Structure 1
Amino acid sequence: MQSTIVMTGATRGIGRVAAELILRESPDVHLLVVARGSTGARLSAELGAGGRAVPYVAADLGSLESVRSAAAEIRDRLDRGDLPPLRGFVGNAGMQYTNALTEGPDGFESTFAINVLANHLFVRLIEDRFAAPARIVITVSDTHFGDFKHNLGMVPGPVWQSPEVLARTGAFPKPDTTAAGRTAYSTSKLAAIYLVHEYARRLPTGIDVVAYNPGFVPGTGLARNADPVSRFAMRFILPAMALTPFATGRGAAGRYLADVVLGRTKAPTGSYLDRDRVARSSEESYDPQRERELWDAAERLTAAYAV
């Protein structure tokens, strides 16, 4: 059955591995990649080097106007029949900054804008184009647990506040510090899980949504905005941790993601997938009141772009 899967975050890391596996193992899947600027054309050419056509749409996920434009282009391609029915969306792109003061073009703090609002707007704008059965996968992080067991103390735990506060710069103490930037990251991943729970309640039957946690994956591009010492450690020292139970190798994490996207990993809608199995996320991540409040706030914050 021919189908289209839209994927962000396929340029590098686990997303790149997953994209290559999806194309290699699923000949009926048309993988449409979303990437910034000229990166999309290059990624399309590289992924299509084996003879598969890999369409792309350019988008800067830090700009909600750019997300709106990309979603509109995808809708048009589907409506014209240039793409087969839409059966998947993979929100794998993510960003972590060295402070909580980085502001995007829409006036939102960039971690929250990319990791939360961009996914929400994308899902909402293409929601009515999904053909059941379909699956939405949002990549999250076990940093949302906020304990030593899950991140070895490298990332502070989430600090939940009103979504309107989280969406703006300076939401955390000492916002110019790396600790604040990492707190913004773990909090954004908690928010993503909240939205997955709320999507599960609201999406039509046949459109499943799951949160995928790859675990700690050293050597990805997540720390590309970090200081030189942190970048060096992530690239050359921490990858050795993939040989221990505390981390996941990029290849394994990409394989797990591909299996989740293709439905090989069975999971009911609203699930939290810890690598290759359904598990419970943190106790804090189950809060229907916060989930509804975040949904309402995300709808308000993206309303100007949802037309």
Structure 2
Amino acid sequence: MARVFITGSTDGLGLANARTLLGQGHEVVLHARSTERAAAVGTLGASVVVGDLSSDTETRSVAEQVNAIGQIDAIIHNAGVYLSGKRIATTDGHSRTFAVNVLAPYLLTALIDRPARLVYVTSGMHHSASGSLDDLDWTARNWNASQAYSESKLHVAALAAAVAHRWPDVLSNSVDPGWVPTKMGGSDAPDDLELGHDTQSWLAVSGDPAARVSGYYWHHRRHQKPAPQVDDPGFQDRLIDALAAITGTILP
């Protein structure tokens, strides 16, 4: 059985992944933003690490907590936010959307002892992103919540592809779960919640040869064509260099 760490796993797709994997007999390490949210999943019988992924310091603490548990076999980078209204700055001065959706998975990828499999949750909205790496943090442009979210999901899909290219011993993929009825997606979301989390769990632990691949963008267990920047090695390298400069942490 595998040991799987899932970010943002106290509700929504992350919690659904946790329940699925626990039901299959796997060991799951949950992640909660606060001790209050950790208490809400205490009955699942899983380990829980705590930290707000909008904070550089707390994200680094999450990585330390995970490494202290022992070797992780797979990580599902599920945590994400969509913030309407004005730009919300973190304590480090970053856009919260950029911090949680991009900087946190980058830091956790760099700092957690390398697992065998990595799964990054992206979105079909990444196709509408501008593709520019200028002003990643939205300090020069007028804030646009939808565009900021779309860009963050383009960046996390490109991060997954970059890791697949740089770490050939690791299976790294990105997944579009669809627009599903979670707290973030809203009750009117049209897609299926079960299908929305199935691919992530499958890629994390399955022995199916179809799941033992790397560098793909998925939707409902099928390969999809991502935005061209995702598979562009030059774009990947520029993104990784920019994230390393912002965080002060180099991807090994």
**TM-score scaled by structure 1?**
0.75
Q: What is the CA-CA distance between 1:290 and the residue it aligns to? A: 1.5
Q: Which has the higher helix share?
A: 1
Match of 1:139 in 2: 121
Q: Which runs of 4+ in 1 moved over 6 A?
A: none
Select which of 184, 195, 200 maps to 1:222: 184
Select which of 182, 187, 208 maps to 2:146: 182
AA at the equivalent of 1:5: V
AA at the equivalent of 1:124: A
- Structure 2: stretches of 5+ with no match in the other structure: none
Contact kept, 8 Å, 1:33 with 1:40, in 2: the verdict is: no
Task: Give distance in 2, aligned partners of 1:22 and 1:58.
Answer: 20
Task: Give distance in 1, aligned partners of 2:29 and 2:132.
Answer: 35
Q: Figure out how many residues of one structure are paired with residues of the other and give that number.
A: 249
Select which of 164, 189, 213 maps to 1:200: 164
Alignment of 1:1-307 (within 5 A): 1=1, 3-25=2-24, 27=25, 29-48=26-45, 54-78=46-70, 85-99=71-85, 101-128=87-114, 130=115, 134-145=116-127, 157-162=128-133, 165-167=135-137, 169-173=138-142, 175=143, 180-205=144-169, 207-217=170-180, 219-222=181-184, 234-235=186-187, 238-239=188-189, 241=190, 248-263=191-206, 264=208, 266-303=211-248
Mean Cα displacement is larger for which, 193-202 or 251-260? 251-260
Identify if the C-alpha distance between structure 1 residues 288 and 203 changes in structure 2 by more than 3 Å, giving closer, same or farther: same
Q: What is the CA-CA distance between 1:305 and the residue it aligns to? A: 10
AA at the equivalent of 2:192: G
AA at the equivalent of 1:160: G
Identify if the C-alpha distance between structure 1 residues 252 and 18 changes in structure 2 by more than 3 Å, giving closer, same or farther: same
Identify if the C-alpha distance between structure 1 residues 172 and 285 changes in structure 2 by more than 3 Å, giving closer, same or farther: farther
- Structure 1: stretches of 5+ with no match in the other structure: 49-53, 79-84, 146-156, 224-233, 242-247
Task: Give distance in 2, aligned partners of 1:138 and 1:190.
Answer: 11
Identify if the C-alpha distance between structure 1 residues 100 and 203 changes in structure 2 by more than 3 Å, giving closer, same or farther: farther
Q: CA RMSD in A?
A: 2.1
Q: What is the CA-CA distance between 1:260 and the residue it aligns to? A: 2.2
Identify if the C-alpha distance between structure 1 residues 258 and 92 changes in structure 2 by more than 3 Å, giving closer, same or farther: same
Task: Give distance in 2, aligned partners of 1:289 and 1:304.
Answer: 20
Identify if the C-alpha distance between structure 1 residues 39 and 4 changes in structure 2 by more than 3 Å, giving closer, same or farther: farther
Identity %: 26
Contact kept, 8 Å, 2:8 with 2:33, in 1: the verdict is: no
**TM-score scaled by structure 2?**
0.90
Structure whose alpha-carbon radius of gyration is higher: 1
